[in-house]
Structure 1
Amino acid sequence: MTGAARYDDIADFYAEGWTDVLDDPASVRLLDLLEPVAGLRVLDIACGHGRISRELARRGAAVVGADISEALIARARTAEHDTPLGIRYLHADVSQPFEPDLPPFDVVVCAFGLSDVDDLEGAAATAAGALRPGGVFACSILHPCFPGGPGVSGSWPGDARYHMEGWWRADGELSSLRRRVGANHRTLSTYVNTFRRHGLRLDKLDEPEPAPAWAAERPEAAKFPVFLVMRWVKQ
């Protein structure tokens, strides 16, 4: 099943569950790593229904959002129509080359989208290729080393090993999204080495702790690193 079909089938569930309220620690830190964005050109890859795109536009960035899911892009365009922020949304596979008329961007961002992209090499090429020299690529992901806990699926299947990469569908009762769309597990070294191959230099790496309410409901899972946020600079 393609990334398009996975999210097209659950677009309503996703849009209703992940709103424009961006108060989770990983999103807060991701946005902090991009500031100041006022006046910058930003490309949001795997943008979904545009929640990060809209926040960046509210902060003064000129934003283009792209996603493979036609259903989610339709919701993003509806939001832009209802409350115009000057965002352009593209229905596009972010692991493929983008439109040639797009000028270089100052920033490329990807919020929790890389595990949904089957072709990481292609996505890294798109991100690096869209940036001007010295531009910033920032991303947030479920920590590749997160083993999960009772009711919470980790980054890799429970009957597998950390070093076994590939797509899989979570079964944890509290892992509601990944039960529906699955995820690609990759090791931390795979992420780092892939980005390095495309001329991106690691500038900042953070492992924000989950929100207290999340941790209180999942105390065993909260003992481990849950989120990873990275900022890279194009050389």
Structure 2
Amino acid sequence: MSNRKDFIPILDEEASGVSPDANSVANLWDINADSWAKARAAGGQAVVDRLYGDEVFRMLSPMSGSRLLDVGCGEGGFSRRAAQAGARVTGVDISSKMISIAKSEEQRQSQGIEFIANDIAKLHDLERTFDAAMAIMSLKDMPDAAQAIDVIASLLKADGVFVFVVYHPCFAAPGSGWRRTDVEPFWQFDPGWYWKERPVLERWMPEGVSDFLPSPIFHFHRRLETYSQYLKDSAFSVVQIREICALPRLAPPQMPTSLPLYLVVKARKLKR
């Protein structure tokens, strides 16, 4: 078993003194950017990236020639994977430090990816449209996910596809995680945690590395019905939902294999 007390260790948001707004989200990810990029380069997150990343790319296939918006692109790992699959990629992230790292790697690899440092919720006036958009574990970091989804809809062509990944709201709600007993550990979650929508700070350790990120990051927990309403309000129709469990042969020791910890949603933009 892992030495971690919980898979998703949660800090008390009120005790932190950090306001759960977009500026704070950007600042916290700026603090974590170098450590995150180093962990990714060293293979950290490889298992969980494969768990939901493969599903995202299957839902977006075929990608060759498509104009793809990567929302919350971070250091650009999934943007580069999409470019390798033939997509023309624009990556957006609120963290200027993450985008700086992504641009440096783009200069090295020259895949034709455009990276923009900005809050997606403020990009209504981006002068282009996209065939598809993906938001891989980024909507959960956004204080105004409803506005973000609305902007994504405005940037997609008619019938454009939007695929996103979040923690499964039921089984990976704040507070859930491994609990140790004298007999054997078990994955604890409580229905009360699911119903309480709130921002929390999670102190997070990328899989494959030995220490936590320097700073906690915000996780804005939302119920399934909330995401459904956001999509409906922005004229999206849900096409497919996949609940992702870890394969026993691939799962790191701190990850349960009988519960889906990730939710992958494919939606299509309706004609208004």
Larger Rg: 2
The 5 Å alignment of 1:157-168 reads 161-168=193-200
Please give the residue correspondences for 1:121-132 in structure 2 after superposition, counting only pairs within 5 Å.
121-132=146-157
Contact 1:69 1:91 in 2 (8 A): yes
Local SS of the residue matching 1:167:
strand
Per the alignment, residue 24 of structure 1 pairs with 50
For these two proteins, the number of residue pairs brought into alignment is: 230
Unaligned runs of at least 5 residues, structure 2: 1-17, 19-23, 181-188
Alpha-carbon RMSD across the aligned residues, in angstroms, is: 2.8
**Residues 60, 93 of structure 1: alpha-carbon distance in 2 compared, 3 angstrom cutoff:** same
CA 1:11–1:171 in 2, change beyond 3 Å: closer, same or farther? closer
1:54 aligns with 2:89: no
Asked if the contact 2:203–2:216 (Cα under 8 Å) also holds between the matched residues in 1, the reply is no
Asked if 2 retains the 8 angstrom alpha-carbon contact of 1:207 and 1:226, the reply is: yes
What secondary structure does 2:52 align onto? helix
The SS at the match of 2:257 is helix
Structure-2 residue corresponding to 1:8 = 30
Q: Taking structure 1 as reference, are residues 96 and 216 closer, same or farther at Cα in structure 2, changes over 3 Å only?
A: closer
Provide the TM-score with structure 2 as the length reference.
Answer: 0.77
- Cα offset, 1:73, TM superposition: 0.2
Q: Deviations over 1:122-160 (max 9, x none)?
A: 1111111110010000011111111433169xxxx9796
- 1-side partners of 2:106 and 2:206: how far apart? 32
| CA distance, structure 2, for counterparts of residue 53 and residue 211 of structure 1 | 25
8 A contact 2:245–2:259 mirrored in 1: no
Q: CA deviation at 1:84?
A: 0.4
The one-letter amino acid of 1:81's match is Q
Q: Which residue of the other structure, out of 260, 263, 266, is the alignment partner of 1:225?
A: 260
Task: Rate the CA distance shift 1:146–1:178 in 2: closer, same or farther, 3 A.
Answer: farther
The residue identity in structure 1 corresponding to 2:97 is A
Give 1:212's aligned amino acid: P
The match for 2:117 is 91
Give the corresponding residue for 1:195: 231
Given that 1:170 and 1:178 are in contact with CA atoms closer than 8 Å, whether structure 2 keeps it comes out as no
Partner of 1:78: 104
Per-residue deviation at 1:105? 0.5
Q: Which has the higher contact order (CA 8 A, sep 6+)?
A: 2
Alignment identity in percent?
Answer: 27
Deviations 1:48-97 (A, max 9, x none): 11111111111111110000000000000000001100000101101223
Q: Distance in 1 between matches of 2:213 and 2:194?
A: 21
The letter for the 2-side match of 1:149 is G
* Residue 116 of structure 1, CA deviation: 0.7
> Take 2:80 and 2:218, find their aligned partners in 1: how far apart are those partners?
26
Q: Distance in 2 between matches of 1:233 and 1:111?
A: 16
Please state whether the residue corresponding to 1:108 is helix, strand or coil: strand
Answer whether contact 2:150 2:234 (CA < 8 A) is retained.
Answer: yes
How far apart, CA to CA, are the structure 2 residues paired with 1:121 and 1:173? 28
Residue number among 145, 161, 168 corresponding to 1:136 in the alignment = 161
2:246 to 202, 210, 223: 210
How far the C-alpha of 1:14 sits from its partner, in A, is: 1.1
